[in-house]
Amino acid sequence: MTAHPPIPADLARSWILVPPMHRPQLEAAHASGADVVVYDLEDGTEADNKKTARAIVAERLPQQPGWVRVNPADTPFWVEDLARLRNCDGLAGVVLAETVSAAEIDRTAAALDHRVPVIPLIESAAGLEAIAQIVRARATLRVAFGVNDFRRDTGIGGGALALAYVRSQLVLASHAAGIAAPIDGPAPAEAAGDDLAAAVTLTGEMGMTGKLAVHAEQVAAINTHLSPDAHDVAAAKELIARLGEGGHNITDGSDLPRLARAKTLLEHAHRFGVDGA
């Protein structure tokens, strides 16, 4: 069986954050089937270990390419992170922690010679307030929701209703700017089974097409529940067959957007390797 092509970052479902200092977690992350592995130089690395972690990341990237979460742009760690990463082969992009302005994205991209995209992590009320500018920064590929730090910053609860406004703002701003849909924050560490499935389903229902993970065991559920299932694929194929590839059997105004959505669903299913589901 031939390996399925890598999932492009603008469609990637599962983004696993992994601390570079912990080899077993590194190996588990790469074996998890995650669409994207993110080496975590921020919360996943203690201050005293950041220099060593940077060296590990720089050594691994050429053999195991991935993304790197770098420290906030207002810290000395950010300067040191980018200086170490600037000439690294295998660096696919950076996740910028605690982003609060488009200027921080511009500075991050410039420090890396504008050679990789940036995913700003929205983790505060200030970041959400600046979202209209953040999504339009030249280097922004898509945005991610740092749900736990956002809750800490704002005091908002963790329920779906409490966070619905924030998720919606990220989704709508991204759509208005013409960039890929956002990446949701991680499910609780203890979430598994039905609880994990419900958390990932909520991500999809809110219009977010990716999700962060901190445990390799959660990756499979993220990939499954953020991909079209057999029913979705069958329904899309039936609709296209009925309306025609070119829409020559369209009968009312709702058919055209439904046809376009069905085609997009099948394109994504193909990229995810589930089109034969």
In order of their start, the domains of the chain are 14-225 (3.20.20.60), 230-271 (no CATH)
Longest dimension (CA), the chain: 65
Quick one: average pLDDT of 79-98? Answer: 97
Give the pTM: 0.91
167-207: per-residue pLDDT in tens?
999 999 999 999 999 999 998 888 889 999 999 999 999 99
220-271: per-residue pLDDT in tens?
999 999 998 888 888 889 889 988 888 788 778 788 888 888 888 788 788 8
Specify the pLDDT at position 188: 85
Return mean pLDDT, the chain.
93
CA distances from residue 135 to 14, 69, 109, 127, 143 in whole angstroms, order as listed:
20, 18, 14, 11, 7
Confidence of residue 1 (pLDDT cuts 50, 70, 90): very low
